[in-house]
Amino acid sequence: MAYDNLKTRVVGVEIGMETTIMAIVDIRGNILAKSSFPTSNNPNVADYISRLSENIINLVESNGGYESIRSVGISAPSSNFCSGSIVNAPNLPWKGVIPLSAMLRDRIGMAVALGNNAHARAIGEQAYGAAHGLKDFILVTLGGGVGSCFFSNGQPHLGQDGFCGEIGHTCVEPGGRQCGCGNKGCLEMYTSAKGIVLTAKEIMATSEEPSLMRQVENLTFAQVVAFSHQGDAVAIEALRRAGTLLGMGLANYASIVNPEAIIFTGNVTHAGDWLFEPAKKEFDKHVFHNIRGKVKFLTSSLEEDEIDVLGASALAWEVEEYSLFK
């Protein structure tokens, strides 16, 4: 084999609700070049694919060309690695089933891997971050939504249809808050950024507890965290309740899959100990006794604004190289 033909770079793409970010990433996870364009002003998916392929081609051509680029990996919400499709994404402009991998591959002539955010982050953390060297672990995304991916014996477990890991839509409060998925009482409704803000508002509406947050008109999750760090009792209580439900949900999860570690990613992790101390306490209370005390709680070691493109780039190595002759 001629070693000068080895392709050592991939393109990682993060499709976010607002912005699409793409980067050329080498085999060690170094970002060599980066660009972006708005996702949200492309209501038609065919137009979006055109813009995405133009942007990828521009980025590649202005940074060394195609010779060294092996494939493309994409991280997007509600994505299915097995089918290469985005499936009924509530937060993207395109409805129904979008066979994104095939559509993009046909435009750019490179293999395309597609995965949801949790799957891509888990692969990224295993390749370049906190999960490096771990074989059995759970990665949890705590942000606008709550998701997860778990690795078993070094491989991501995807499930029969690729929808494995939806911890955000497991029930922690029977008959509780209405979730966008159609069910009630889903974990995501209590431990996502939005869910924690709702809890803070609920506490203020049902108690006399003084709180600086009462003067804030459009309370955000970042403000709840900032107030908790100032010692605000309501903010701390909102995070404690979220942590408690999170700990219980994860204890059930860990009792089933027996992980070495749980890795937390996303902006909700900014709550720090106000969230994780009650979470750990509840986790230890409910987890199966033979694994109690053995599951590490870790936070991501990747930069928050790079974790999704890095994860997507790690995903790109999971597909076979595209060839017209296969």
Smallest distance from Zn ion to CB 191, Å:
12
Smallest distance from Zn ion to CB 298, Å:
26
Q: Give the nearer residue to Zn ion in terms of CB position, either 183 or 267.
A: 183
Under a CB-based contact definition with an 8 Å cutoff, are residues 89 and 73 in contact? Answer: no
Q: Give the nearer residue to Zn ion in terms of CB position, either 17 or 31.
A: 17
Q: Give the nearer residue to Zn ion in terms of CB position, either 110 or 268.
A: 268
179 binds Zn ion (CB under 5 A): yes
186 binds Zn ion (CB under 5 A): yes
Smallest distance from Zn ion to CB 200, Å:
20
Smallest distance from Zn ion to CB 186, Å:
3
User: Judging by beta carbons within 10 Å of its beta carbon (0-12, 13-18, 19+), is residue 206 exposed, middle or buried?
Assistant: exposed
Smallest distance from Zn ion to CB 193, Å:
15
Smallest distance from Zn ion to CB 269, Å:
21
Cα 24 from chain centre: 20
169 binds Zn ion (CB under 5 A): yes
Main-chain phi, psi angles of 10, to 5 degrees = -135, 170
Contacts of Zn ion in 118-147 (CB under 5 A): none
Q: Give the nearer residue to Zn ion in terms of CB position, either 117 or 126.
A: 117
Site residue total, Zn ion (CB under 5 A) = 5
171 binds Zn ion (CB under 5 A): no
Main-chain phi, psi angles of 99, to 5 degrees = -75, 70
> What does the alpha-carbon distance between residue 102 and residue 124 come to, in Å, rounded to a whole number?
23
Smallest distance from Zn ion to CB 99, Å:
25
Give the chain's radius of gyration (CA, Å).
21
181 binds Zn ion (CB under 5 A): yes
Contacts of Zn ion in 251-270 (CB under 5 A): none
Taking alpha carbons only, the member of 210, 242, 241, 244 closest to residue 227 is 210
Under a CB-based contact definition with an 8 Å cutoff, are residues 310 and 75 in contact? Answer: no
Taking alpha carbons only, the member of 275, 276, 295, 292 closest to residue 284 is 292
Which value, to the nearest 10 degrees, does the dihedral of the CA atoms of residues 191, 292, 299, 213 take? 30
Q: Give the nearer residue to Zn ion in terms of CB position, either 80 or 211.
A: 80
245 binds Zn ion (CB under 5 A): no
Judged by the rule CB under 5 A, the positions of this chain that interact with Zn ion are 169, 179, 181, 183, 186
